[in-house]
Amino acid sequence: MCRHLWNVIQGNQSSIWVRWIAHNHLRHKSVWAVDVKGGSWGWRKLLRLRSAVLPYIDLKIGDGESFSLWHDPWHSLGPLIQRFPCGPSRTNIPAAATLSTVIVDGAWRWPLITDMECIEIIHVLPTIHNGSDSILWRGATSLRRLSMIYSGVRDLR
C-alpha cells in the first residue's frame, strides 16, 4: 500500500493506475488535500496512510510550480491550510495557489502579511533549490527505517 501511495504522491504518470487515480479521485487536487470520506475501502485506506508516510518524505522546493502553497506539506508546520484555515483570505493568496506564487527568481517573495496568526508562516521557510520541485523518500534503503515505517503503518489497521 505504501508503494501505491508513494506513486500517487509523486504523480508517477507512467502508471496507468496513478493516472486513473488522478482523474477519478484527485481531480486536480493534491493527494494531501483529498478528504478520506468517500471512495472505495482501498482508496480510504491509502489516504489514511498519508500521516504514517509523511515523516519519511522530503519535499524539495525548486521553482514551486508542482507544490500547492496551502495544501502540500512543504512547510515545517505541515499543510498550511490545516494550521491556518483562513490563511487564503487573510493573505489574499488563493487557496489553489502554487508555491511559485511566492517564489521569484529563486527567492521567497511573500506579500506583506499583517495578520498576526499568519505571520508565523514566514518565520521559518525552507531552502529553495535550483530546478524543479521534487519529492524524496528519506533513507529508503535502511532496514531500520523500513521496520519503523511498517510499525507505523501496521498501527493504522
For the ranges 17-21, 37-41, 152-156, the maximum mean pLDDT occurs at 17-21
pLDDT at position 75: 95
Q: How confident is the model at residue 60 (pLDDT cuts 50, 70, 90)?
A: very high
Higher pLDDT residue, 157 or 12?
A: 12
**Which amino acid, 40?**
S
pLDDT at position 143: 45
Q: Are strands 57-60 and 134-137 parallel, antiparallel or unpaired?
A: antiparallel
pLDDT at position 115: 82
Higher pLDDT residue, 12 or 121?
A: 121
Higher pLDDT residue, 141 or 99?
A: 99
pLDDT at position 147: 57
Q: What is the pLDDT of residues 75-99, one digit of tens each?
A: 999 999 999 999 999 899 999 999 9
User: Dihedral, CA atoms, 116, 92, 27, 60, nearest 10 degrees?
Assistant: -60
Put simply, whether the predicted model's pTM sits higher than 0.85 gets the answer: no
Task: Spell 49-77 as b/e; 16+ CB within 10 A means b.
Answer: bbebbeebbebbbbbbebbbbbbbbbbee
Q: How far apart are CA 113 and CA 119, in angstroms?
A: 6
Helix (H/G/I), strand (E/B), else coil: 136: strand
pLDDT above 50: residue 68:
yes
pLDDT above 50: residue 131:
yes
pLDDT at position 93: 95
